[in-house]
Amino acid sequence: MLSEYNMSNRGSSRSLFGNVDMVALSIYLGIAICGLLCITSASFDPDSANIFSLKHNYIKQLMWITISWTMATVVLLLDRRLFHAFAIPAYCLGILSLVAVLAFGTEINGAKAWFEVGSIRIQPVEFVKIATALMMARVMSDYSFNINRLVDLVKVALIVCIPFLIIVLQNDTGSGLVLGAFLFVLYREGLSKYVYFPILFTIFLFVAAMMFSKVVIFTVLLIIFVLFSAVRVREFKGHIRFLTAVFLVALLLAVLTPLSGYAALMIACGISALGLAVVALKTRTMMLLWPILMFIYAMVFVPTTDFLFSKLEPHQQNRILTFVGLVDDPKNTGYNVNQSKIAIGSGGMWGKGFMDGTQIQYDYVPEKHTDFIFCIVGEEWGFVGCFVVVALYIGLMLRLMRMGERIKEPFGRIYCYSVAAIILIHVMVNMGMTIGLMPVMGIPLPLMSYGGSSFVAFTLLIMIAIRLDASTSESDIYA
């Protein structure tokens, strides 16, 4: 009995670093130091009379790092049960802060997402990620929760969608998309893989609608679904002939009608979908109902993409069009990415050296200390430096997942995986956009990009995970 008591209270009667995962803590410090060096290189002014003035970004970032480490110390000393108890209040406070900034916040770069107090700016969405992760862990760790039960799945969807919708209203879509990281957590907790396919299909349709005409999209989809149907019923030639005949007859009827080209195509596709349904019922292959439903969904969704695209801001539209290759404007829309790729490519294997990058030092790369900070690594530290930074992030995410697996309770496991997923999305999108693999979204690189809100939030996000892990037994930690 006494041993059980000591085990359950291990976290409350220990030293600051008792049972703390020093590997994760060391990786965190390594990334933070890399970020500070990059910010210093991007903003250092040798002609300044006072290089320690608060007007310099690297001094401001150092101040935020000091504040963050002070708050991290407090987090590591808290009882782990407090995070479970305050998950609901923290989430409600986060939602209220998003509503407040939407009403009273300051608009910067087209997004109304900051509170501005004097020279200090606070972005509530960064802290809402912590609150959402805690709330997800709180709800999903309930003993009666079942991830594949509709009621529980709706609860999880509401937890994510409420802040997402408010963030979109702030015109900060990039930050809102980060909440999609929780899809990885749901998969880890056993959500059926079939739930993810409609999401990926929707993304595919949206991108395809930007690049191809509706006729091309529906024709390709129809061919794919016909082939899928023929293979599933194992009567390839017979059903290919049947469905092809149905489509040709439908197309002929559509052409003969006095309708527009698109309306005629819809008639042909609708009759073809009916043909697929006949094959499904005739062969009793219910799996064929999925392509029928997807085809109908595509017929409804694709025409709405123009409306959805029109609701985006002009600069967001241009970024998407540039990304998919429909607009080639290296001097305007694509300028940032073009200069970033030049900077990273010019670094070579070993880089040009600390504060010796020409693209960086001569201000060819806009937002070099925030969204495009990774290009500093590429130009000044080269391929080797990029490899080290990427390895640090991968190491941190793997360590968080390992921490999640060894925590005995579901609350800690779900939270640790949430943190790893959030970092993954940030790293993938930020690094991807600096080399032209992702559209520019204004998402910071965790612990490296300049910004007090971002650094403090990621510090708290990671330290809560480390604190939850520290409550596990010492033998498990060093296994």
What are 95-119's pLDDT values in tens digits? 999 999 988 888 877 778 888 877 7
Q: According to the model, what pLDDT value does residue 249 have?
A: 61
The mean pLDDT of the chain is 80
Q: What is the average pLDDT across 276-285? A: 63
Q: Is the distance from CB of 104 to CB of 97 less than 8 angstroms?
A: no
pLDDT tens string 237-260:
555 555 566 566 656 655 565 555
> How far is the first Cα of the chain from the last one, in angstroms, to the nearest whole number?
25
Q: What is the pTM of this model?
A: 0.83
Q: According to the model, what pLDDT value does residue 241 have?
A: 59
Strand residues in 147-224 grouped as ranges (E): none
Pick from 70, 80, 109, 299: nearest CA to 201: 299
Radius of gyration of the chain (CA): 26
Q: According to the model, what pLDDT value does residue 347 have?
A: 87
Give just the sign of the alpha carbon dihedral 380, 384, 387, 391: negative
Order of strands across the sheet that contains 106-108: 106-108, 111-117, 120-122
Q: Is the pLDDT of residue 384 over 90?
A: yes
Report which of residues 194 and 355 the model is more confident about: 355
Report which of residues 437 and 390 the model is more confident about: 390
Q: According to the model, what pLDDT value does residue 360 have?
A: 84
Q: According to the model, what pLDDT value does residue 150 have?
A: 86
Report which of residues 316 and 350 the model is more confident about: 350
Q: Is the distance from CB of 264 to CB of 281 less than 8 angstroms?
A: no
Q: Is the pLDDT of residue 165 over 60?
A: yes
Lowest mean pLDDT among 22-26, 76-80, 204-208: 204-208
Q: What is the average pLDDT across 70-75? A: 92
Report which of residues 431 and 327 the model is more confident about: 431
Q: According to the model, what pLDDT value does residue 237 have?
A: 52
Q: According to the model, what pLDDT value does residue 312 have?
A: 67
Q: What is the average pLDDT across 274-289? A: 63
Pick from 110, 39, 114, 62: nearest CA to 372: 39
Q: According to the model, what pLDDT value does residue 479 have?
A: 38
Q: According to the model, what pLDDT value does residue 268 have?
A: 63
- What phi and psi, each to the nearest 5 degrees, are found at residue 302? -55, -45
Q: What is the average pLDDT across 353-359? A: 86
